[in-house]
Every structure is written in structure tokens, then in C-alpha cells.
Chain A
Amino acid sequence: EAAVTQSPRNKVTVTGGNVTLSCRQTNSHNYMYWYRQDTGHGLRLIHYSYGAGNLQIGDVPDGYKATRTTQEDFFLLLELASPSQTSLYFCASSPGSSQNTLYFGAGTRLSVL
């Protein structure tokens, strides 16, 4: 069974704070993704990666950095968090190609006060 684990599950920070969201996959997948989900917007792609050391910009990258340290681990960094980044964040992995299924983590709910 494919597994994607996100941590923490919930996080509260203040405006200007530094936050790191973690994602680990044990699927041996090449691709990993960070999405955010907001009411009225559905899921939007922030960043993605096709391997260790690689980073690709998604559709809503402003205010976010990401780093893929290994094939298993993909981190999302908010260095100066703002209230507009309050959201539900999902990590996913995929073998790659448009036909492949994405496997999602359970999500991290981030609140920026």
C-alpha cells in the first residue's frame, strides 16, 4: 500500500514566523507535489519535484520554498508566514506520467495568526 506521511498534522504560527512542513513517501516514486486547498479555490499546485535535488515551480509558488532532500523527503518552507497562507496543505507522490495515480498524505492544517 502506497504511503505518504505528512507532519505536523496541525500547526499554528504567527505572522512573520518560520514554518516547515514535512512529507515522506515510501512508494519509491519519482514525483512529489505540494498542494494547498482553500475554500473557493480547490487544490492548487505550489511546487513539485521529480527527484532528489530537483524543484519545479507550480501555479501558486509565491511565498513558498521547497526542497527535495532525498527521493523520500519533500519539505515546504514558509520563511515569513502570512495570514494568506492559512490553508490545508497536501503532499502527494506519483511515479510520473499523466496517467499515474497521485497518492496523497492526510494533510497539514496551517493557521497563521
Chain B
Amino acid sequence: GDSVTQTEGQVTVSESKSLIINCTYSATSIGYPNLFWYVRYPGEGLQLLLKVITAGQKGSSRGFEATYNKEATSFHLQKASVQESDSAVYYCALSDGSGNTGKLIFGLGTTLQVQP
């Protein structure tokens, strides 16, 4: 079936250090996967961080980057230097690019804690 895997449930990083949050996907019934990263800050709803709809392209926002790697079926999230304000839960998500429902399949989420 179609699924998204985030291997790290929680990540702790010191401020100004680099970050990578892993995301792989399986799209057995989706012909044109679109990939997303959403973020949820404490007490708030999820909000879009970045999205990429074309294989090989990179999305970026607020210093975060992710490249859609079709061969590796991956969409890892990276940031060169994290800040304490980046502490949040990050969700990788997948949708069917050929559909029109907007339905998303989410990973379990990765809680990022940035230590000062």
C-alpha cells in the first residue's frame, strides 16, 4: 500500500547545529506522488513548510530544504543551522498528483527539540 515512514520519533539537536529528518515513502498505487513537509508548533495546527511535486526538485522554506528523490523514494528534511524556535513536530506527507481530493498520507511525525 501507500505509506510514509519517518524513522525518528524524536530528535534533539543543539542550537546552530545541522539537522536531518529522514522520510521515505511507498507509492504503490500512486502514479504521481507529491511530497510535503508540515510542521506543528505547540498549541497550533499543522502548517505547510514546503512541498515538491516534481521528482528531482528541491523545496525550501525558512532555511529548511528537502529534495524529492524518486529513485530512493525519499524526501529528507535538512537544515544547516537550527534555532530554538524550530522546536516543533515535523510531518512528512504524500498525495496523489493525479487525483483532485487533496487527501494526504502522513508519516508518524518527528518531534524536534532544539537545545540552547
Tell whether A pairs with B.
yes
Binding site for B on A (CB under 8 A): 4, 31, 33, 35, 37, 40-45, 48, 50, 56, 58, 90, 92, 94-107
Q: Are B91 and A43 in contact (CB under 8 A)?
A: yes
Main secondary structure of the interface of B (DSSP, over half): loop
Q: Are B107 and A45 in contact (CB under 8 A)?
A: no
Q: B1-44 toward A: CB 8 Å interface, digit per residue (1/0)? A: 00010000000000000000000000000001010001000011
Q: How far is the CB of A40 from the nearest CB of chain B, in Å?
A: 7
Indicate if B98 sits at the interface (CB-CB under 8 A): yes
Which residues of A lie under 8 Å from residue B95 when comparing CB positions? 98-99
What are 10 A-B residue pairs whose CB atoms fall within 8 Å in the complex? Answer: A42-B91, A43-B91, A96-B102, A97-B99, A98-B96, A98-B97, A99-B97, A102-B48, A103-B47, A104-B38
Measured in the bound complex, the distance between the Cα atoms of B101 and A98 in whole Å is 6
Which of the residues B45, B100, B106, B107 comes within 8 Å of A97, measured between beta carbons?
A: B100
Indicate if B104 sits at the interface (CB-CB under 8 A): yes
| Seed contacts A48-B103, A50-B101, A92-B45; 16 additional CB < 8 Å A-B pairs | A33-B103, A37-B109, A42-B108, A43-B91, A45-B104, A95-B102, A98-B95, A98-B100, A98-B101, A99-B53, A99-B97, A100-B102, A101-B48, A104-B45, A106-B43, A107-B45
